[in-house]
Amino acid sequence: MRLTSLCLLGLLLLDCRPDDPPHTPVYEVPAEIEPFVQAFRDEAAKRGKTLKIDDLIVEFGETSGQDICGVSQVESNKTPRITLVREWPCWTRAYKETQEGLVFHHLAHSVLGRGHKKTLLPNGDFASLMNGEDLGVYSPCIYPIGNTPCNLTGRRTYYLDELFNENTPVPAWGK
Ligand SMILES: [Zn+2]
């Protein structure tokens, strides 16, 4: 009796499956973007998150709408697609760390399912790399430029912590 019920349940579940064919993962990432995808996976792993990124298309092209330098399209049963704008001031001539910020922002849309977050830290800086306006928020303190000492130690670390965990506490420099 119990077995019969389980079988019926199984059949019902089968019947309820959508008619869409199973999605076949596609991975097409330009060679110059690939190191950033690997870095994103590494930063996630450092924070205890194992990410399998095997279904992703990244391309250079045109965008319109809120994200000036890139757009992420995420639809069920489709390969997430990130389109980045190559023209200045987006990809071309951007600092490496700003490029990383742009790719990480869009990987968070496409791989982590995150949306935009406009809130500010108490000091007025953006609280998240997921703000839609400034993708260079952690750039200045990856590599101190010239003689200007970088006194915002841990800036990138905070933004990456927050990227993978929205509940990351406000850092000392953001108070
Ligand atoms: Zn965005």
pLDDT per residue as tens digits for the range 100-156: 999 999 999 999 999 999 999 999 999 999 998 887 887 766 554 444 455 556 788
Ligand 1 geometric centre to CA of 73 (Å): 10
Which residues neighbour ligand 1 (ion) by CB within 5 Å? 67, 132
Tell whether 83 is covered by a domain: yes
Ligand 1 geometric centre to CA of 149 (Å): 30
Helices (H) and strands (E) in the chain, counts: 4, 4
Strand order in the sheet with 70-73: 27-28, 56-60, 81-84, 70-73
Tell whether 35 is covered by a domain: yes
Ligand 1 geometric centre to CA of 130 (Å): 6
Tell whether 3 is covered by a domain: no
Ligand 1 geometric centre to CA of 159 (Å): 15
Tell whether 12 is covered by a domain: no
What total of structural domains would you count in the chain? 1
Task: Give the confidence band of 85 by pLDDT, cuts at 50, 70, 90.
Answer: very high
**Do residues 162 and 129 lie in contact, with contact meaning Cβ atoms separated by under 8 Å?**
yes
Tell whether 8 is covered by a domain: no
Ligand 1 geometric centre to CA of 53 (Å): 19
State percent of the chain over pLDDT 70.
78
Tell whether 6 is covered by a domain: no
State which residues form the domain around 48: 19-174
Tell whether 5 is covered by a domain: no
Residue 86 has pLDDT above 80, yes or no: yes
Residue 15 has pLDDT above 50, yes or no: no
Tell whether 28 is covered by a domain: yes
